[in-house]
Amino acid sequence: MYSWCTDEVEPHDRFDYWREVRAKGLFGVTAELEREQRADFFGEFSLRRVGEAGLVELRASPYRVERSEADIADAPGDSICIYQQLGGGGWFGGLPGDDFTIDSGRFATSHTDLPYRTAPLGNAGFHLRILKIPAAHVPALARQLRGLTAKTFTDGSLAPLLNSCFTDLVEGTGTEDHAVPQVQALAQLALIERGVVNRASRRGQFALRIGRLSLARRLIARHLANPELSPAMVAGMLGVSVRHMHMLFEMADRSFSHTVTEARLKHSRRLLVEAPERLIADIAFASGFESLATFYRAFNSAFGMAPGDFRNQGTVSA
């Protein structure tokens, strides 16, 4: 991962350095800010490679950004960008009639080599994540990809899947091998939303399965303490059949019940270490086990020792 912050530069040089290194060098855009406001400017960003894509998180004081025809000619990118707005809102503009605002938590997509302008709303400044995926790694017609002007992600059924996959990448969930299908799924989900990819196509179904599996795992984590957590419960939240739910986990080579038990054991093990004052029975029920006997049996099977012995071992090690 590469990270940079304006604190590394003298205050009077910060915006100029940001404009040349971050704006021109990283994104090929032109940044502008009134000279009298530059002394208080702050900006930071991180860049991480995920599969074939680049993932950027950026925070900065308010300023204006433009990617002009000249910028595109100087630094063509030929990539799809997926933006996630964080904290505050943003304004995008490009071709006449295409202006829009984007609220916190929402997404937008575009192709890098189309002109646009953007600025934060209000005084909060920029805070956003950007996933930049080279078009060469996205199986679709080049002319369709290169016509993607900046637009918000509006499909309510797809947005939770996009958000879950995006969060997986940000959190670094899984190995590098897992990042590749997640990046592809994000690209295809964005293209489904833009009307380039058909939901029912092979690529569309692949993306939907990856997104639903990611969201199913997050729903499991969110409802872990509920002893009634079941495939039917999560399937209902996802809006799919129970059969489809089981197929998602078969695709991941781990059953729904195995996934739930593993998550509950991981949660209980963490509580045993972090909360030594809590009763083991309390931890078992807080982790979603229906009975103390079931918890002991599952814990012994997974770790080869009783929960109390595990806790004592951790205390001795500490």
The pLDDT value recorded for residue 95 is 60
Mean predicted confidence (pLDDT) in 221-227:
94
Residues 6+ apart with CB under 8 A from 180: 51, 52
Cα–Cα distance between 81 and 134 in angstroms, integer?
9
Please give the single-letter amino acid code of residue 309. D
pLDDT at residue 247 greater than cutoff 90: yes
Q: Give the whole-angstrom CA distance, residue 56 versus residue 126.
A: 13
State residue 5's pLDDT score. 93
Angle between helices 202-222 and 231-238 in degrees, nearest 10: 120
What pTM value is reported for the model?
Answer: 0.86
Span 163-215, pLDDT tens digits:
999 999 888 755 555 688 889 999 999 999 999 999 999 999 999 999 999 99
Sheet arrangement for strand 90-93: 30-32, 64-67, 116-120, 90-93, 100-102
